[in-house]
Structure 1
Amino acid sequence: MGKRNRACEECHRLKIKCDVSTSSGKACERCTRNDLECVPAAPRLQRDRINQLEAQVQELKNALSDRSSNDTTPTRSPSSLLENQDGMILSFLDARIPFQKQQQLLCHFGQHADTAWPIIRVSMNLDQIRVRSPILLLSILVYSVSQDMQGTDLETHDELVRETMRMLGEEVIARGQKSLELVQALLVAAFWSKYTRKGEQASCYQIVQLAVDMAIDLGIAGFSLQPSPAAYFCRLEDATSLEARRTWLSCYVALSTSSVSMRRPNTVP
């Protein structure tokens, strides 16, 4: 019998001599006798590092357990989260454009936008569109009218443009939301594209592509353009409604115009 250069894990734990045969790879006597796996112990520095990591993991587990036990915040349902998001959008808008002014701008959009870009037909009832389509209302009031018509100063106007694009990005990219309202809001932002003094928020070409991709995922682009399997459950219930068909036609016209402008092939046949 010969003494191993490094004791196995079991012998090291019990702090006893680890005897192993001279043949390489054999188990020590104690592990053989007790039918145990004979694994050479790790070097001291490595064992110290392992112990340190295990202590850190345990500390994190304890911290998470304490946080969970002390957290009394009730879990909110998806509908309450959506209502909260809509409330934030309207609060942001109301703090910068008065309610009466919002009604005037909405009527102006309905009376003049149809001749320029008949994307959507919105209700002229401000209360109704605030409840049903707050993000679309925000896009219309920020993008489709000038700063002078809004009655805002330059700083407020720039803030409206930046925050509206941020909110659209939050809904579309961060939260992965898909709806006809969002497609329409993106088309409004693309057609009446605005830039702030602090740089571009997104190009009209990028916004159009987002709107087209979302429209395909919603199933309003027809049977020839099928969405990815991941978007199957996002399909619009009434994909052939007049509003859906008008929205898709607007997407197609916008994408075709972008392709001509950029001298690139249209991605949608």
Structure 2
Amino acid sequence: MLRNKDHQNLIHASFSDITSNVIASAISEGRLMGSHVLIGGNWHLGPLKERNISTLSAWFSDIFGYIPNDLTIDTPIIPTHESIKICAWVNPLSSIEYANFIHWISHDTPHDFLLISVPEKCIHPASENFFDLAKLLDNAVEIKSNDVNPYIAEWGSLAKENADFRMINEIGKIQSFRSTDFDEYIINSMTRKWESTPIVVLRIIETIHSERRDFPGDIFLYHRLEKFFLNGIIEKQAEVSITQTQIRIASS
């Protein structure tokens, strides 16, 4: 447990914009002491081998149909000093946070740090009742250098698999997924009846969520459906954007 006087010697590391905003606000309001750094990189998305802006751009174009304007492959280096403690705020059931976290450990291995597991119910929190930051901080778990090997091994396995996505599965573990791994959900959510594409996508999302697993998002599903149309797997009622028409399974 941390003593109050130790709080000002912390560097708070967060691994998603959501948690970053809350931590930064808490520091500015005096509810937390210390400084803050966001360790991002979206390491749950895209190829891991030969990862650069060019390969990421090509991957986003192919998988999502667009290229983000804020792509980066850089990970901040946190300064270390014996009088400073790094405090990592991580939701282990968030694909983006956990992937960014274990990538950071694997590539900028800290000697020791404090780990705070952010409750799953707070994954999309309201700023007023996010969680008791000070209480969670006081109950942080100290991670020593010899405790990080399982995280490093976990990231090594994911890097070797080099899949499209690294997502939290139905048992709460991070797992590699190909873009085609979600095709079954799409096909099983469609019939020969014409239906609005947003209704079909909502049904797919509800099915995935019912299994308590993460997925790449609705933009991915819409782009995947567009590919299905181009490959003759589904039909569109009108020659417009897939988001603005009705669709159905193609007749065999």
TM-score, normalised via structure 1 length = 0.23
Higher share of residues assigned strand? 2
Report the structure number with the largest CA radius of gyration.
Answer: 1
TM-score, normalised via structure 2 length = 0.24
Higher share of residues assigned helix? 1
